[in-house]
Amino acid sequence: MLINSENKLKITHNIRNYPQLFTSFYSSVRVLLKLQSFSSIKSITSTIIRDIRSISYNGKPIECFYFEDRKKKSDKAIILIPGFSREGFTDNRLFTLAYVLASEGYRIFLPKIFRTINYKIDRKFYENINIGLKILLKKLIDYKVGILVFHYSAPAVIKALGRVENLSNLRFLFFIGGCFDLYAHFRNVIMRNFKRKRIDDGIDINQRFNRLLFLNSFKKELGIKLSPSIQSVVLSFLKGNIAKGLQEYRYLSDNEKNLFLSFYNGEDSVYYNYFKPNQESLMNILANLSTSGEDFKSKVPFFLLHCINDGLISYEQSMHFYKKIVKYYRNVYLCTTSILDNELKFYKLWKNPGEWGKEIFRLSKVIMLAESFYDPMTMLEGSK
C-alpha cells in the first residue's frame, strides 16, 4: 500500500495519477454537467447554435464543432481539447460541456480530433492537437481565448504552445484531470506483455536500470512512498540479483506487479511513454516559455485543480507536483475545491485578478457545479 498523512492510496490509483504534472488532479470527477433536468437542457440548447466549421490557415484545414449562444455575442472563446480517450471529440460529455459553456457567453471550438490507436500512445492524436491549436490561435487572433484541457492531452497542449509564434490572444489554460481511461490502458498493456513474453526479453539493460532507479526514488521524485515489498523487488533487480527479484515479485499483489511492470517493460512502459518525455521535453519547453515572450510570461496563467476530498491523490501529492512545475513557470496556480461546498481557493497570491481572473472564477464554478463524469445521465435519470 501507498501511505500518506491523510489516507491510504492503492498503487493502482497512483499509476494513473503520477504523470499528471500538467493536469489538474481533479480525479474526483464532478466535471461535466451543470444541467439539472431535461427541461433545463432544452432551455439551454434552444438558444445555442451548433455547427461544423472548417478553419484553415496557410492551407492547413481543421474541422471544429462550433457552439454559440445566439443571444450572447462575445469576443471570448474557449478551445476544448478532449482527453486521451478513444472517444475524443465524439464524447457526448464534451458536447454537454460545450453547450453549458456556450450558455455562459463563450464561443466554443471543439476540434475534431481523437485517438486512432488502442492501448498505445497515439502520435497522430498529439500531432492533431498541435495543428489544431496553431490554426485556431492564429485564426482567433481577435478573440480572448482560453484553453480547457482534459486528461493526458495536457503535455501535447504545452508542446503545441511552445511552437506558436503569437500568444497575445491567449488568456488562460485550465487543466482538468481524471485519467481513469488511461489506467485501463496501463493495466491491459502491462498484463498482456507479461503473459506474452518474459520480462527480461528484448530491453536494453541500461534503459531498464534507469527506469528502475527512478522507481526506487519514487518518494523523492513524486512524493509517493512505495511499500517495503516492492522496494525490495526493485533493489534486487538493481543489484543484478534477478533470481531473488523474480522470487520476491511472485509474492507482490496484482497492483504492485502492475506498478513494477509499468516501469520494467520497454516500449509500452509508463516511464518510457509518459514520465520521461514529460520530465525532459516539457520542463524544457516550460522554461523556454517563461523567458521567451512577455505576453506569455506575464499574462497566461496555468490553473491546476485539486479536490480536497479526492480519494485518489492526496493534497500533499498535488502540492509536490505544483512545486515542481512552478520552478519552471512562474504563473502557475494550484486551486483546491470541494465537491460539497464548491468553494475555490488559490494557493498563490493574485492580488488583482482583473476581468479574466473573474472569468476564471466563473468558469470554475460552472465546472464545480457539474455532475458525475462517469455517467452524465445519472442525475437526469434521477430527476424524472
pLDDT of residue 222: 47
DSSP code string of 112-180: -----STTS--HHHHHHHHHHHHHHHHHTTTSEEEEEEEGGGHHHHHHHHTT-S--TTEEEEEEE---H
The angle subtended at Cα 126 by Cα 122 and Cα 127, nearest 5°, is: 115
Q: Taking the CA atoms of 9, 11, 16 and 17 in sequence, report the sign of the dihedral they define.
A: positive
Lowest mean pLDDT among 120-134, 179-193, 230-244, 359-373: 179-193
Highest mean pLDDT: which of 144-148, 243-247, 258-262?
144-148
pLDDT of residue 295 exceeding 80: no
Lowest mean pLDDT among 158-162, 174-178, 188-192, 363-367: 188-192
In this prediction, residue 115 has a pLDDT band, given cuts at 50, 70 and 90, of low
Half-sphere exposure for 376 (CA within 13 Å, toward CB): 15
pLDDT of residue 80: 87
126-137 confidence digits (pLDDT tens): 777 888 888 888
Domain boundaries, the chain: 2-181+276-382, 183-271
Cα separation, 339 vs 87, in Å, equals 26
* Beta strand residue intervals within 7-59, DSSP E: 8-9, 30-33, 48-57
pLDDT of residue 83: 64
pLDDT of residue 76: 87
φ and ψ at 301, to 5 degrees? -85, 145
Q: Considering the domain 2-181+276-382, what is its CATH architecture?
A: 3-Layer(aba) Sandwich (3.40)
Contact call for residues 19 and 364 (beta carbons, < 8 A): no
| 276: DSSP letter | H
Q: Residues 108-120: what's their mean pLDDT? A: 66
Lowest mean pLDDT among 3-12, 63-72, 131-140: 3-12
Q: If you compute the radius of gyration of the chain from its CA atoms, what whole number of angstroms results?
A: 21
pLDDT of residue 281: 53
Partners of 30 in the β-ladder:
372
Integer distance in angstroms from the first to the last C-alpha of the chain?
42
% residues pLDDT > 70 (the chain): 33
- Pick the closest to residue 291 from 241, 334, 328 (CA basis): 328
In this prediction, residue 227 has a pLDDT band, given cuts at 50, 70 and 90, of confident
pLDDT of residue 38: 33
C-alpha cell at position 258:
502492475
In this prediction, residue 304 has a pLDDT band, given cuts at 50, 70 and 90, of low
Cα separation, 263 vs 48, in Å, equals 47
* Residues 87/90/92/96 CA torsion (nearest 10 deg): 120
C-alpha cell at position 239:
543489484
Better-predicted residue by pLDDT, 285 or 53: 53
